[in-house]
Amino acid sequence: MTRVKKKTMDPPTNLSGIVDPEAGPTAPADQAQAQSQPAQIPSSSSSMSDFSCVYFGYGSNLSARTMKQRCPDSLFIGLAELKDWKWIINETGYANIVPSPGDVVYGSLCFLSKRDEMALDESEGVPWLYEKMTLPVRRLLGNVEKSSDWADGGDIQVQATTYVDVQRTTLGKIEREYVIWVKKAIEDGHAAGMPAGYAEKYLRPFLPTDERQLEDIVMVRTTKFGEHSAGIVPRGFASWSRG
C-alpha cells in the first residue's frame, strides 16, 4: 500500500514570487522557462501571516503567468492533481469541475495573500456564481524535489481552496474570448509538467477546431483594486446570476 504523507505547507520567506515573462514588453526568453518552475519551499516552519490559503487553479489560472498577473502576491509552487473530479465547460461558457469517479483534474498550486484571495472571490463571483471549496489535492513533485525531504515517505496531500459552480453543471459551449486563455493554460501547464494526454482528453474537445474563429480575439482582463477588492472579471460573467 502506498504511503501518503500529509504535510503542512509552510510559505517561503521570499514574497516576491516568480518572474513574470509577460510583465514587460521585452522579457528574456529564459524567464518564460523560469515561470513554469515552482518556487523553492523551505522545510522549516514559518509564519502564515503573509498568506491566507493554498489555491488550486484549474481553468485559466492553470497558467502560472496568468496567476501572477491576476494575483500579484501569489507564489506558484507547482502543479497538483485532484482525483475523482472532471474538467468541463459549463453553460456559462467557462471552466468548471464536477465530481466524476475515475477522472482527474490538473491545476496550479499557489500561495495567496488575503488581498489576492479577496480579488479572486470577486472575480469568480462568490457566492452567486462560484462557491469556494476546500478539496484534497496531490502536489506533483519535480525531478529535484523527488530526491528531497518533500518526497520522503510518499505523496504530498494538500487541502487546497478552489472555486466550483455547483449549480451549473451542464456541458456548454466555450466563450470565444475564453479560448485564448485556455490555450495559454494548456501551454503553461505542459511547461510545468502536466501530462499531454490530459489536455487532449478533457480541454481540447471544447476548443474550436477552426483557428480563424480566433483571429479577432484580444486577451483582455481588467483588474480593479477598488474598495479593498480587486475584480478580474471575464466579460460574459456579469450576465449570469444564481437563480
178 is in an annotated binding site: yes
172 is in an annotated binding site: no
Q: Is 107 strand, coil or helix?
A: strand
Cell of 173: 459551449
56 is in an annotated binding site: yes
Residues noted as catalytic: 124
What is the DSSP track for 134-183? Answer: EEEEEEPPPHHHHTSGGGTTSEEEEEEEEEE-SS--SB-PPPHHHHHHHH
Q: Specify the residue for cell string 521570499.
A: 14
Cross-strand pairs, 230? 225
Q: Specify the residue for cell string 456559462.
A: 92
Pairing mode, strands 223-225 and 230-232: antiparallel
74 is in an annotated binding site: no
60 is in an annotated binding site: yes
Contact partners, residue 230, CB within 8 Å, separation at least 6: 115, 116, 118, 119, 122, 123, 223, 224
154 is in an annotated binding site: no
57 is in an annotated binding site: yes
Question: Residue ranges for the binding site for substrate?
Answer: 55-60, 178
Question: Residue ranges for the binding site?
Answer: 55-60, 178
